[in-house]
Structures are given as structure tokens and as C-alpha cells.
Amino acid sequence: MTDRIFSQADILSQAEALGFVCECDLQGSCQILPPQKTERWKLQQVEDRWLLLVGNVPQINCRLCEVMIFLERRWLSYQNQEDTEPSP
């Protein structure tokens, strides 16, 4: 996956397709938020990179391919949680 070159538009499109919340302001700066409001992380666009914040504390500055991997792994963890939850 890291061999593919991603654009900012690819990241936002894929994030929305996976169920994440994407917000962009008038200046074009964007954020990606988790679908569950109880989670405390977010990705914030900083020029051509994305900054991962947990509890509003900066953790790591990510390249586009790293953001895509992070989002896909988060999505898989959500899917695994749904598979293990008992049905009513």
C-alpha cells in the first residue's frame, strides 16, 4: 500500500467511505475525526502532512500513506468490535 501515491483528496474520500467524519474550513484546512464521539483522537491537516492528536496532544506527524494505513487499521478495529459484540 505504501507504494501508491495518495493525494489529500484521496485521503478525505477514503476516510468518508470508511465512515470517518471529515471537516474542512474555508481556508481548506481539514480534520478527520472518528465516527464514535467517545474516541479522543483526530487527524489535522498541516500543509502536506497530517498531525495525529490524541486528547488534543500532538503525537505524530504523518505522511499521506501513513494516514491511509492508520484509517484502514482503525476501520478494521471497528469491524472486529462489531463482530465480537453479542447480538440482542
Reduce the DSSP state of residue 71 to 3 states and report it: helix
pTM for this predicted structure: 0.83
Which position has the higher pLDDT, 88 or 13? 13
Q: For residue 1, what pLDDT is reported?
A: 44
Q: What is the mean pLDDT of the chain?
A: 88
pLDDT digits (tens, 9 = 90+) for 43-79: 999 988 999 999 999 999 999 999 999 999 999 988 8
Encode 62-78: b = buried (16+ Cβ within 10 Å), e = exposed.
bebebbbebbeebbeeb
